[in-house]
Structures are given as structure tokens and as C-alpha cells.
Structure 1
Amino acid sequence: MKNLQAVRGMNDILPGDSALWQYLESTVAGLLAGYGYQQIRLPIVESTELFKRSIGEVTDIVEKEMYTFADRNGDSLTLRPEGTAGCVRAMLEHGLLGGGVSHKVWYNGPMFRHERPQKGRYRQFHQIGVETFNLGGPDIDAELIILCWRLWQQLGLREAVTLELNSLGSIEDRARYRADLVEYLRARFDQLDEDSQRRLDSNPLRVLDSKNPDTQALLTDAPKLADYLNDQARAHFTGLTALLEAAGVPYVINPRLVRGLDYYGLTVFEWTTDRLGAQGTVCAGGRYDGLVEQLGGKSAPAVGFAMGIERLLLLIQTLEQVPAELSRQVDVYLVTLGDQAALAGVQLAEQLRDALPGLRLLVHCGGGSFKSQFKKADKSGALYALILGEEEAARRQVGLKPLRAEGEQLTLEWDALAAQLQSLI
């Protein structure tokens, strides 16, 4: 029989890797809680129409990358390719945006796009997304960016990331700019790469972030979106940069930054790195004030971002910023010898877990000789072994032996053991 394997581009997260995932996720969750954000949990599958209406039917995501299928009722469903659309749908469906009440929410989980798998880019990938609603000023845009800046500090990544900023202006600004950009590019149509030629009619702003060097050279003399912004859009962007400067967050303005989703307007931003080769964006987002109304609600300002977990983990590993304590999954390994010792070991282990909730205690299971158990204790990476034989169990005593440092084995009373471990670990 053919060996069963994971679907191409969809990877297992093995036990040896999960500690780093948990570290990143818990660090982000703690930071967001400190800024007053609450978690929202969203379905993985949504109506296909949701993504067509939000992302845009002529985007690469909708045209080529979505996992779409008909269910047993004949309804067209899609594995979510991104989280913002589903979050807006949930806020609308549950009536959370009425009365101008502001909301700050976040979510995490898998997203799905049928792309060519490569390092840092997968068909099932994971994101942490942050969204805010009914807050229209540049102050909330700045808060999201400052929040990221603080996260990079906590993860040890600040020196490896760059903040790129741009403003897409209003719908009217983009319409005027689009007309002039298309006129400029159409006069040079034969010099464009194939993808840019295709996008010229459907989504011309995406030509700006073409990866083709010849197309990029051609754009040097193209019209600049910044010249088309209205006064309100200019004021919003100026307010944002002033707030970032006040907070000490460095940035560069990238006039060709447009993002790949149709719903963005005004602020867009990306955190990029040059340490991961071609996959340089680790976090990106922007303002999408028109999306709530586009999906059937009353107009409501909104802004958010998403960060790619796999790419952030890759960057943490590349920069050797993995916390040393993550390499150890076990603090203490309990070895028992004899049936009565095994029974007493269960009692002792639970007593320790009551006294030291954070203790990572592994109780040996499966029997075996004293020597074989000790080999497994050493292989576990534990700092200490607890040794419980029949005589120790009868006296309610236990041996405490260092496994990673010099030191003699101690014999302790059960009631003294928790305090001793707390002082050592």
C-alpha cells in the first residue's frame, strides 16, 4: 500500500517544535491582553461569497489560490485564506458594531492558500490577526504598529525588521490615480512582465509591487499615489507618522506598498526582514474603513494586521533568539522501583503538582529496571530525578539526584520536597 503522507504544503507540528509555537502564541496573547484586546474564535470554513465580496474577485487569492468546494447542500464554501473577512462577518452577524461602540479583538489559527510551497510559504499556514472597529483616527493605527514594535523587542527581533508605510488615500483618490497609472503603463505595455500585463485592466495597483526588476525600473517615472491624496488622507498620514516618531518607532515610506487585498484604504504597512530570503514580510495590515459597509453593515472605520507564525518562528530561529528554557521540556523525572513504590509515586506526584502548579514532572510509566529508568530520566532532559523505592515509600521519603550538575543525592521527607524543588528550579 502507498504510504500515507500529509498533503503537500500542509505540515505537521511535531512535539519537539510545539514548545516554540506555544512560546510565541503566549507572548503575543499576553501582550495583546495588556493593550486591552480580547480574543475572538472564528470558523475555518466560510461562504465563498464572503471572500469574493471582501478580498476582490480579480485578486490572485480569489482567482487562483482559494480552496473552494460545494458541500452536500450545493453551497459553495471556502477554507479561509485570511481572517479579516470572517472577523467582520462575525461582528456584523452578532450585532457588535451598532451604536459606534469600539472593539479591539484578535484571533489565531490556520489559513489556506493553494500556492507553490517553499520555505516560509505553505498551503496551510498560521496567522495571528488583530482587528479594531469604530476607531477612525491615526491614533489606533499607531497603537497597532507600536504594539508590534514592543512585540519585536520581547522576541529579540527589533534589529532584524523594518517598518514600511504608505497611504492609499480614499476611493476617489485611488480612482484618479488608477486612471493616470493605467495610461502611463499602457503606453509601455510591451515592457511589462506577463503578470503585470494581466493586472493592468483588473487590478493595476498591484503592478506597483511586482517582483520583476524590469517592471520596477519602469515604475520609476510612473505617477506617484502620494500626489493624489486629498487633504484628509494627508492629515491622517501625517498624524500617524507624528505619533510613531513620538513613540520612537523608526519607519520608511514605501510609495509602492499597496497590499494584495482590495479592501485597504488610507494606511497600509508591512514589517519586513532581509534575513529570510524571498519571504520577507512577517507582519502586514492597514485600514479598511469601507469593508463593513461592503459586507452589508453600516459604515464603520476599521484597521488591523496579521502576522505569519511560521515566518516569525523561522526568524526567531535564524537569529538564535529561542529561549534556552524551551530546550527543556521536563524539570523532574520520578523513578519508582516496586509495586508499592509505584502506588506511592502516584500520591507523591499529585502532591507535588498541588504544591507547585508550574512544575513539569514526568512520572515513569512502563516499568523496567532501575538502570533503564535512569537512562530514560537522563534522556528526558530533566534537571533532577526523584528516586522512590519500597523502603523510601514506607518511610515517606524520596531521593533527589541532580542530573545536569554536580551534587550529591539528597534524601528528603515528602513534606519538605516541594520547598526544596522550588528553591532549585
Structure 2
Amino acid sequence: MTATPAHTALWPAPHARGAVDATVHVPGSKSVTNRALVLASLASEPGWLRRPLRSRDTLLMAGALRALGVGIEETVSSSSSPAGAGTPTGPGEAWRVIPSTLHGPATVDVGNAGTVMRFLPPVATLADGPVRFDGDPRAYERPLHGVIDALRALGARIDDEGRGALPLTVHGGGGLDGGPVEIDASSSSQFVSALLLSAPRFNQGVEVRHTGSSLPSMPHIRMTVDMLRAVGAQVDTPESGGEPNVWRVTPGALLGRDLTIEPDLSNAQPFLAAALVTAGTVVIPDWPERTTQPGDRLREIFTEMGGSCELTERGLEFTGSGAVHGIDVDLGEVGELTPGIAAVAALADSPSTLRGVAHLRLHETDRLAALTKEINELGGDVTETADGLHIRPRRLHGGIFHTYDDHRMATAGAILGLAVDDVQIENVATTAKTLPDFPELWAGMLGN
């Protein structure tokens, strides 16, 4: 596979000289922020998002919704408690979302954000006029057929020249009939979430029936359902007694809410990994007791790999034991955690098998191929399987770790750099996609 051009600046990944001992304030969840922006934009009254994530993906979502006519005002409240060190957006920051009649013509830049490229075409069907979607070169390679085909079956007019991918134009008619539709969402659960989020505004709502063999990242669908219900939508799901692989949303008005965004637990991964790798302790404040975020599985996975954790009034306290163990784990529901787990596994005392993540070949980059190539070029022994990776730990050496414009590749390289001298991360700036100021947060954790 082709790496990002060599002229991109290299970042020397800091090497840990001892056990870390830090409190890290992780910014808000990208997944929650972008879903909340969509739902607030489709509501019948204004709403508030407090402590939203300000990153490339969320700013692209906000910019796209503004282009469709939604008002999004950014404010900072002076009455809130001060932000912790390294917090990219303080607790006082809030976005006021003011719904409006959606309109075209408009152009949406999706960047390489899966949530923007998949969640907004259904929204665009509600606009009056054409909405063109474009984005980064890699975005052209990511599958959109599930959303495109489903919207056409529901009555939408979409021009994509048969690509099933970007660029495309949705010819909004000011509404959509909706109704039953079958899709194969085995390449991305976002296909299901995309249809559900806009469904309350469809004339007949929607009944989404997944016809594929497997459905990855189910926690993200549960997140979508919970957030829909929180703003007044009626949703029937397999978990609530409905048919397997069928979700039904009833048409109706959505309420404007005052929502505080949870910390992004998947973005907490590299910091928890640092505690595991260095036999240190990291505290992540505001870790929720109950959440649909996939990152919550880190408590279980990293404990099995040699750490221990406790949820206290300070937050999640995670401590490494001094040993890092291999793991055999199905990551099908939490595939976004794979790069960080692979990095830790490469430093373990026994082999690991990561399964259930064939769909990662269609993410920001082909993550399975990228992890295999980059870890092996540092002296590792990683092989791809049909649906994952097999990792046999070996003594690693320094070198350039390429990121392929993938934020989770960059943080995986940083984890390796804790234990391996002279690792240089190519294009660490790509972490701004979901984790602004990552190098500063990382240095702060290490006391640098």
C-alpha cells in the first residue's frame, strides 16, 4: 500500500523513562457529538450541546449543517468550572443549534469523516434543492452504497454515476416518504444509523432490515437508538422485542434538548495503554457509569492484558501491573479499538489474535494492512488473517511509522514509541480528526 508522501513532517514519539502517573482530560465523543448535531438540526425547537468535541470531523459536520440552513452558535460560559490541563474544549463551551427549513443548493465537504458522508445524505433528502457531497481522495474509496441504495428505494433521487461512493448529489425534494427498506450493512453499521437518525422526519418513518451476514459495531447502533429516544423518537429494536436485524422509527417531531457530551472513550485508549505499557496509572475524569460507547470495552480488554481499573469519583483509574499479556479477542463490535490493541499486543509477553474486524479494510485506510506493514517494519511479526490479525511479539526497533492519514494509526504508533526508542510518526497531525492537540496531551501525560 502507498504511504502518505515522505515530505510530511516526522514527529519523534516520546519514549517513556518510567511509569506514567497522570490525569488526562479526554475531549468529547466524536460519535456522540455528530449524532447530536444531526438530531438537534432536525428538531422542532432549538437545543444545546455542551462540551462538544471540536475536531476536524465535528467541524465538518457543523459546517455541512450550516450550509443546509441550520443555525449553530458557539458560546463559552464563564460560570463553568475551569477545564483540566490539556482540555481542547473547556467544560464551559456549548453549541446552540437552531433548526431551520433545510435548503439547497449546497455543497458539503465530508473530509474523510464516515459520519458526515453517511449521516447527511438522508438529511439532504429533506432539503429543498440539490446538495453536492465531496471530500478527501480516500473518502472516494469508502463504501456508501448502503445509504445510496436505501435512499433510492425510499424515493430519493441521487446522482453518483453508478459509483456507490463520493462524489454525489442528492436532489432534495423537501421531504421523503420513507417506509420499509432492506440494506446490507455488513461493511458499516453507519448505514443503519444514517437512516434511523433522519427517519422521524420521513413521512412514514422507516423500517430498516439488515440482510447481510454480520453487522459490525453494534454499540454505535445502540448509541443512535438511545439518542433518538432521548429526543422523543419512538424506536423499536431487536433488543426491545422486535425482529432480529430490524429497526423501526415512527414519524414524529424531535425535541430540542440540553445535552452534555461524554468524553470520547475510544480516544482515551492510548492514554490507558500508556499506563498498561509503563506499569503506571492514568485517570480519565468523567468516565460514564453507563454508556453505549465502544471504548467502554477497554476496561475489560486492557484488564485481561495485564492492567486493573476502578471507577471512582475521580474517574476511571487504570493501572498497569508491569506485565503485558497477549489476548485472543473478537473485536467485531468495537473495531475502532483494533489499532491501539494491536500496538499493545506487539509489546506483550505472548501472542495475540484479534478477530472479527475484516470491515477495517474499509475504514480511514485499510487498517489491517497498515498495521501489519508498519509494525513489521519496526521488527514485529504480524500476519493478516481473513478477519483480523495474528501478532507474535518480537523485540522492536526504531523507524518511521506511517499513518496513511488515519488518526488511530498515529496513536497506535505513539503507544509503540513509549517502549521503543526512535519511533517517528509520519503526519501525527492527522490525530486532529477526532483528538485535537494529541501531541500536547501526550507530552503532558509524560510530564514533558
Identify, as 1 or 2, the structure richer in helix: 1
Greater relative CO (CA pairs within 8 A, separation 6+) = 2
Superposition TM-score, scaled by structure 2 size = 0.24
Superposition TM-score, scaled by structure 1 size = 0.25
